[in-house]
Amino acid sequence: MTPDYKQIYTDIIKEKYPEKINDLQIKNKIGCINTVMDVLSLNTLIFGQADGLTESKNQKLRSYDKNSVLKILDYQQKNNLSNSMTALHFKMSRNTIAKWRKYY
């Protein structure tokens, strides 16, 4: 059972950011949340970029589904990036990328 992200983000916008209710980009993103990557991009749209300390704390709590992992690895392959460069782009550990490459 997965969380109802549509309801969660709708409630957050109504409570904390009522000025963003009519933003079409946010409405479209809320309507089509399918993967963890969609959740992360919507989170950035609503809350903006987090500072370094918050970002590092949040990174420890992230989990990725198989589709998101495959998208990240596909991005790495298409752009001919190393594990380190991919990790910097997605703000995660290069060891995580290496582990995923071995597994998938």
Q: Tell me the pLDDT tens digit for each residue of 18-68.
A: 998 888 999 999 888 888 888 888 988 888 887 777 777 777 778 888 999
Q: CA dihedral defined by 53, 58, 80, 83, rounded to 10 degrees?
A: 80
Residue 49 three-state SS: coil
Task: Using pLDDT thresholds of 50, 70 and 90, give the confidence band for residue 81.
Answer: very high
Q: Give the Cα separation of 34 and 36 in Å (integer).
A: 7
Q: Are 45 and 25 in contact (CB under 8 A)?
A: yes
pTM: 0.65
Helix (H) or strand (E) holding 79: none
- Model pLDDT for residues 25-37, shown as the tens digit of each residue: 999 998 888 888 8
